[in-house]
Amino acid sequence: MKTGIKIALSLALLSSLSFGGEQFAMSDSDRAMYAEMLENNPADIMVAHGEELLSDMGGDAGLAKYLGVSESELPKYIAGFPRYIEKFDMVVGLGQALQAMMHDTGKKVLKLDSSDMNDMLAYTKSIANDEPINIDVNANQHMKDAYALGQITFDTKRGGRGLSCLSCHSPDVIGTILRTQPLPDLGVNNSGGTWPAYRMTKSNLTTLQGRMQGCMKNALLAVIPLGSPDIVALEVYVTDKAKGKAIAIPGLKR
């Protein structure tokens, strides 16, 4: 019985992949219209709110000082996240770096899934806007390990349907249409540089890690917690695919 359901589900997936395209694929002019909406991204308001929250902790200057870089180096430094930070002795995402700063400066530590944290993370990443992603997955053993773990996590089939990130984002299926949307190449579409983004279907700001959790939920995979080594590793792996692409926060996604 269980296998029967499994087959039906994978068939459903296959069918929309191969045939959905002809019927419901969006035209280029439609896509251009959606792209134009970036000009007035509702998340701009959330980013402005994030800026206010960071300014309560000393703003850009305070953050630069905490991270041990000059304010002029800050954008470049942020464009290298997730990164290994010696004083934490681990590879961290931007959100965790902000949490550490809150902790060390005696502020209330915001949870990674709180909307204030999302706003702040988005603002902080936007400091690096127009800066090319410069994550260095060979910078040290920690980054090498994170990259390797990220790749394993990306490729490993899990859950009742036996799906992995790779099921929808491998080179052989990229570009095929799944329910009106072409399956994206996470490097080409600059996932690493366009999240946090406003999600139109949810009317909220979502981070890359949050989006990955959404993917896992929909694919019936156990959800990997925010800030865990595995999801940070996934972020490392996916961000590296977009290395060199310019950061543009906030993104706007369906």
Partner 1 sequence: MQRRDFFKKLGTVVAVSAVAPMMSFAADEKKPKGPNEFSYEKAVEAITDGKGAKTSSKITLKVPEIAENGAVVPVSVTVDSPMSESDYVKAIHIFATKNNNSRCLAVHLTPANGKAMIATRVKLGGTQEVAALVEMSDGTFLTASQSVKVTIGGCG
Partner 2 sequence: MEKVKSLIKIKPKKYKDGEVVKVSFMVMHPMETGMRKDKKTGKIVPAEYINSVKFDYNGQVITTMNVWESLSANPVFTIYMKINGAGKLTVSFTDNTGAVNETSTKIKPKG
Interface with partner 2 (CB under 8 A): 37, 39-40, 42, 44-46, 48-49, 198, 200, 203
Closest CA to 105 of 144, 53, 49: 53
Picked from partner 1, partner 2, none, the partner binding residue 59 (CB below 5 to 8 A depending on kind) is none
For partner 2, the closer of residues 66 and 123 by Cβ is 123
Residue 14: which of partner 2, partner 1, none does it interact with, CB under 5 to 8 A by kind?
A: partner 1
Structure tokens at 82: 């997730």
Binding window for partner 1 (CB under 8 A); candidates: 79-87, 100-108, 200-208, 231-239: 200-208
Task: Indicate whether 33 belongs to the interface with partner 1 (CB under 8 A).
Answer: yes
Closest by CA position to 240, among listed 121, 80, 118: 80
Q: Where do the DSSP E strands lie in the chain?
A: 83-85, 90-92, 177-178, 181-182, 197-199, 204-206, 251-253
Question: Which of partner 1, partner 2, none does residue 36 bind to, with CB < 5 to 8 Å depending on kind?
Answer: partner 1
CB of 44 to partner 2, least distance (A): 6
Kindly tell me which of 13 and 47 has the beta carbon lying closer to partner 1.
13
Residue 72 interacting entry, from partner 2, partner 1, none, C-beta within 5 to 8 Å by type = none
Decide: is 218 part of the binding site for partner 1 (CB under 8 A). yes
Size of site (CB under 8 A) for partner 1: 33
| CB-based burial, 129-163: b 16+ in 10 Å, e otherwise | bebebbbebeeeeebebbbebbbebbeeebeeeeb
How far apart CA 184 and CA 182 sit, in angstroms, is 6
Q: What values do phi and psi take at 47, rounded to 5?
A: -65, -40
- Report, in Å, the least distance between residue 102 CB and partner 1: 30
Identity of residue 139: A
| Identity of the residue numbered 188 | V
User: Is residue 179 near partner 1 by the rule CB under 8 A?
Assistant: yes
| Reduced DSSP (H G I as helix, E B as strand, rest coil) percent helix, strand, coil of the chain, to 5 | 55, 10, 40
Torsions phi, psi for 231 (to 5 deg): -75, -30
In the complex, the smallest distance separating the C-beta of residue 122 from partner 2, rounded to whole angstroms, is 14
Q: Which is nearer to partner 2, 44 or 113 (CB)?
A: 44
Task: Compare residues 111 and 217 and give the one whose CB is closer to partner 1.
Answer: 217
Q: Which residue has the tokens 């902080």?
A: 124
**With CB cut-offs between 5 and 8 Å by kind, which of partner 2, partner 1, none does residue 241 bind?**
none
Positions touching partner 1 (CB under 8 A) are 8, 11-12, 14-16, 18-20, 23-27, 29-30, 33-34, 36-37, 168, 178-181, 200-201, 203, 214-215, 217-218, 254
